[in-house]
Chains A and B, each alone.
Chain A
Amino acid sequence: MMEILEYIGLAMVLIGGLFLFLGALGIYRMPDVYNRLQAGTKASTMGAMSVIMGVGFIEPDWFFKSLIIVVFIAIANPLSSHALARGAYRASLTPFMKKKMDAYEKEFQQKKED
C-alpha cells in the first residue's frame, strides 16, 4: 500500500516537473506579455500543485499540509496573473495579434466611459 502511494507521488512530481519546464520554455518562446503570462502562470500553477501534492503522497504525514498549500496556490496564482494581465492592458501594452482578436477592448472602452 505504501509503495503504491509512493509511486503515485513520484509520478506526480515528474508530471509537475515537466509542466514547470514547459512553463519556463513558454516564457522564453512566447512573443508578448499576455502569452508569456499565460504560459508562465498556467504551467507553474499546474506544476507546483502537482509537485506539492506528490510530496504529500510520498510523505503521508505531510498530506494535510500540502493540501493547504495546493488550495492556496489554486486561489493565489490565477488571481495574481489576472491582476498582472489587467494591469498590463490598462498600461496600454498592445496584444501581439490585436488586429485579429481583442475581446476585452469593448468592455474596457465601455468601462472607461462609465
Chain B
Amino acid sequence: MKKLLVLLLLAVVGYSLYKPLSQVEFGADRIGDIENPTTVGAYYLSHTPSDLSVANVITAIVVNYRGFDTLGEVSVLFLAATGIGSILYRRRKEGEHSETITQPSSQLLQAGAKLIYPAILVLGAYVFIHGHLTPGGGFQGGAIIATGFLLMMMSYKDFHMNHTVLTWVESLAGITFVSVGIGGLIVGKTFLENFLAIGTLNDLFSGGIIPIIYIAVGFKVAAELAGVLDTLLSIKEK
C-alpha cells in the first residue's frame, strides 16, 4: 500500500514536470531579439551596458537588479558561519590553542607558502574589485582570499586568525551593504537603488553602487570563510 502511494506520488510529480517541459521547443531561441527585448533575459542584455555601464551582466543582475536577494544570500552565509562557530567553538584558557595538525609541515612548504600567500591575497582582491568588469565577484574573491589563509594555516602551526578582527571586518562589511541600500532608499525611491553616478563602460570607477557592494561582500565572505576554516582546524579530537 505504501509503495503504491509512493509510485502514485512519483507519477503525479513526473507528469507535472513533463507537461510544461514538453511544450518547450528544443533548441529554440528563447531570448529573442536583444535590440527590442521581449523577454527578461534580452532586457538585461540590452539595458545593462547603457543603464548601469557594467560590462559583466551577471554582476549587474546579482548586485543591482536582484540586490535584495544577494543581501539574503550574504546573511545565509553569515548564519552558516555562526552556526558552525557555535557548534565547534569552545572557550579556551588564555593562550591555549588545541591542534589537529600534529606534525609541522616541511621547510619547503613553509617557504613556498610565504611566497604564494601574498599573491593569492592580491588575486582575490583583484577578483572582487573588478567584479563589475571581469568574470568573478565578491563571493569568488572572498573564497580565493580564504584559500590563501588556509594555505598559511596548514603550513604554519602557529598561524591563527584573530577572531576579534574577523568579527569587526565582517560586521563593517555587512553594515556597508545595508547602509548603501538605505542610501538608495533616502536618495531615490527603493531599497538598494543605484543612486551614485554610473560613469562610463569598462572604467574601474563605474557602475555606481555595484563595486562598493561587491567589495563589501568580498571582505565579508573572506572573513567568514577564514573564521570557519580556523575554527575547523583547531578542534581537538578525543
Residue of A nearest to B108 (CB): A82
A4 is an interface residue with CB less than 8 A from chain B: no
Residues from chain B with Cβ under 8 Å of A111 in the complex: 103
Residue of A nearest to B105 (CB): A83
A93 is an interface residue with CB less than 8 A from chain B: no
Determine the distance from Cα of A86 to Cα of B119 in the docked complex, in whole angstroms. Answer: 24
Determine the distance from Cα of A72 to Cα of B103 in the docked complex, in whole angstroms. Answer: 27
Determine the distance from Cα of A70 to Cα of B181 in the docked complex, in whole angstroms. Answer: 42
B112 is an interface residue with CB less than 8 A from chain A: yes
B116 is an interface residue with CB less than 8 A from chain A: yes
Which of B108, B109, B119 meets A72, CB within 8 Å? B119
Q: Determine if A79 and B108 form an interchain contact, defined as CB atoms under 8 angstroms apart.
A: yes
Interface hub of A83, A86, A90 (most chain B Cβ within 10 A): A83
Least distance between B153 CB and chain A CB atoms (Å): 14
> Which parts of A78-114 form the interface with B (CB within 8 Å)?
79, 82-83, 86, 90, 111
Residues of chain B at the chain A interface (Cβ within 8 Å): 103, 105-106, 108-109, 112-113, 115-116, 119
Residues of chain A at the chain B interface (Cβ within 8 Å): 72, 75-76, 79, 82-83, 86, 90, 111
**8 interchain pairs (CB within 8 A)?**
A76-B112, A79-B112, A79-B116, A82-B108, A82-B109, A83-B106, A83-B109, A111-B103
